[in-house]
Structure 1
């Protein structure tokens, strides 16, 4: 029986690891040496791992199909319910009938929002949805997102004040970063008192651009700050407001997929400041800034 020296053993182990990482590992001719037995065990392990990966891919594809079916099958019925509720509102003969029709509209819109949020959450968690970050100026995206929520703010006489440095560039997926930022601004509008102010600003640091959303709302108690980014979590003071507790969770998931992050600073009764951090683009990384 040929004995392989220590150098030959290390070389063979290196070859085994290399082929395993490339997905081409195969057992060489079997004999009674310890190295050959190790090869045989590795072959069994990688075969089992390959089967597991295949099973995970199949389950992910099943989830993709289920999510697509849910989205497709619920879209038309909900749109029809909204249409009929609006017709009822138009034909209402008294205030009570108008109130009931309005309730149908609001609850249907809430259900639509919940289903859309669940679909987005499912796609993010299962990896079905892939973000495509690219270098670009971030101020235009912030303005566009704030403008989409302007009417909601005006309904409560809330001032949306954008203090933006024009030439800040970072890596982000425009559509999904706007989704994350929109969720944060929407929460600020929802929970802020009438005739208050929400300030949105950009700060530039050495490695990150920071978007701050600062409100004059009720604030967040210290014991709740670690929980607000969890799925379906709603703060004790916020439960009287309509909502499902998914917005901040989605924002965190989106930012993590962009190699960014989010944090909050607040105190009970003194307003909140949410800070979104996104990687600075390479071409502007040398810009002098503060330290985080």
Structure 2
């Protein structure tokens, strides 16, 4: 047991100690008997215990029992609560003292830890910008309200401890019924918003988040946080208005692009038809210096109209992508066969006799993609590889356990390091390709198409050495 029973003479010498003494102090009963009880009391506590013992001797002690520290043999100490009473002889004369020493060290340490925890809690809660509160749901009263309540409202929280509904005075009147109804709910957790009067007289939006603490199978307390979200709502409103304006502008842009494209396509078609007609009749005439010059100019016109037609088509495609009008038709595809079809359709019988060097790594599997979109991406990447190099482009199809990759490589002019971050931007062209035809839209479309198919398009390039584009589909 942790309760020492002792007897002492009037001058304070220990006459009897039970075994609990050794448990608490580390001193044996034998070595302690005959010594002054005060010898085992911490020096700072001795005046207190001396006063108490003198009061007991004279019969004038109060009902309070002092707590003192008993020194342990190993150098530590224990908190004990002391109870002492007089010992009388057969003549009813005081001839000694008896008492108990109750070890309360664990209790004192627990109380100290609790005080420290409460202090940390208050420091945290009182330094929060949000209003923090705790309610007793059974007694229907507030237990704690941090200082943010007064900082926000300019009102003292004291009236709320006697009347929990007093906070309604600073709630916007049209919101009071709703707030009161929600406030009285005992659901496990809840979230709601209402308007409240700020100390400057303005009305602010507050968002309340609260949850209940269960005791004995039912909610007993509720903890809540109320945050001022006025600025957030104002920003959301501004964003909503901006988004609406942007949508209107995008609609106008799309309408303009569609109209302008149609207006451009009509004369371009007429020009292309006229060029082909002139070329047809020119080819029937004997070749002369004049026909050679005319053919040169016809080819230039044809190249320009083709380039302009590509720009219009790419612009229309990007417009559809921005509006989310590109439909993706997923299907299981033999990727190797699709690559062969794209190459046969677009890159065979070239005038320079170059061709795509294809290699397959791993065991081929069918892949879920959109055939039309994938064909467009492969055609664009391989066209660029031919356009920006003078050697055969490479295409590696790699099938691994976790992914399928298509890697298009060339040994061409490469991409300057400063341009790589912008390579997939709309209308962007690298700084070293000004003499090579292009719209600056192809790679932007390719990236969008690959992402629509739930893939990833990456690039690695060294200027003057070559470029590698990698399409990755995770399994």
Q: TM-score range by the shorter chain?
A: 0.7 to 0.9
Q: Does residue 246 in structure 1 map to residue 446 in structure 2?
A: no
Q: Does residue 228 in structure 1 map to residue 423 in structure 2?
A: yes
**Aligned counterparts of 1:277 and 1:81: Cα–Cα separation in 2:** 41
Q: Structure 1 residue 134: deviation in Å?
A: 3.3
**Aligned counterparts of 1:244 and 1:75: Cα–Cα separation in 2:** 17
1:286 corresponds in structure 2 to: none
Q: Structure 1 residue 200: deviation in Å?
A: 1.0
1:162 corresponds in structure 2 to: 358
Partner secondary structure for residue 154 of structure 1: coil
Give the 5 Å matches for 1:22-33. Answer: none
1:98 corresponds in structure 2 to: 295
Q: Does residue 187 in structure 1 map to residue 392 in structure 2?
A: no
Distance 1:46 1:121, change over 3 A: closer
**Aligned counterparts of 2:358 and 2:442: Cα–Cα separation in 1:** 21
1:86 corresponds in structure 2 to: 276
**Aligned counterparts of 2:195 and 2:373: Cα–Cα separation in 1:** 56
CA deviations on 1:60-79 (whole Å, 9 max, x unpaired) are 55555444434433333211
CA deviations on 1:227-283 (whole Å, 9 max, x unpaired) are 222222222332211112211111111112222111122222222211111233xxx
CA deviations on 1:120-149 (whole Å, 9 max, x unpaired) are 111112222232333333222222222222
Q: Structure 1 residue 32: deviation in Å?
A: 8.5
Structure number with higher helix proportion:
1
**Aligned counterparts of 2:379 and 2:253: Cα–Cα separation in 1:** 27
Which of the two has higher C-alpha Rg?
Answer: 2
Q: CA RMSD in A?
A: 3.5
1:198 corresponds in structure 2 to: 393
**Aligned counterparts of 1:187 and 1:49: Cα–Cα separation in 2:** 40
Q: Structure 1 residue 44: deviation in Å?
A: 10
**Aligned counterparts of 2:307 and 2:386: Cα–Cα separation in 1:** 17
2:414 corresponds in structure 1 to: 219
Query: Is the 2:364–2:399 Cα contact (8 Å) retained in structure 1?
Result: no
Distance 1:258 1:176, change over 3 A: same
Distance 1:191 1:46, change over 3 A: closer
1:109 corresponds in structure 2 to: 306
Give the 5 Å matches for 1:3-22. Answer: 4-5=183-184, 7-8=186-187, 10-11=189-190, 13=192
Structure number with higher strand proportion:
2
Query: Is the 1:192–1:218 Cα contact (8 Å) retained in structure 2?
Result: yes
Distance 1:256 1:219, change over 3 A: same
2:333 corresponds in structure 1 to: 136
Unaligned runs of 5+ in 2: 1-164, 166-179, 198-204, 208-229, 283-289
Query: Is the 1:89–1:102 Cα contact (8 Å) retained in structure 2?
Result: no
Distance 1:67 1:171, change over 3 A: farther
Aligned residues: 261
Aligned partner of 1:118 among 299, 302, 315: 315
**Aligned counterparts of 2:430 and 2:374: Cα–Cα separation in 1:** 24
- Identify which of structures 1 and 2 has the higher relative contact order when contacts are C-alpha pairs closer than 8 Å and 6+ apart: 1
Query: Is the 2:416–2:431 Cα contact (8 Å) retained in structure 1?
Result: no
Partner secondary structure for residue 308 of structure 2: helix
Query: Is the 1:255–1:261 Cα contact (8 Å) retained in structure 2?
Result: yes
Query: Is the 2:416–2:432 Cα contact (8 Å) retained in structure 1?
Result: no
Structure 1 window deviating more from structure 2 (220-229 vs 248-257): it is 220-229
Unaligned runs of 5+ in 1: 17-29, 281-292
Q: Could you tell me the TM-score, scaled by structure 1's length?
A: 0.74
**Aligned counterparts of 2:393 and 2:412: Cα–Cα separation in 1:** 9
Q: Structure 1 residue 46: deviation in Å?
A: 9.6
Q: Could you tell me the TM-score, scaled by structure 2's length?
A: 0.48
Partner secondary structure for residue 428 of structure 2: coil
CA deviations on 1:99-128 (whole Å, 9 max, x unpaired) are 112211111111101100111111112222
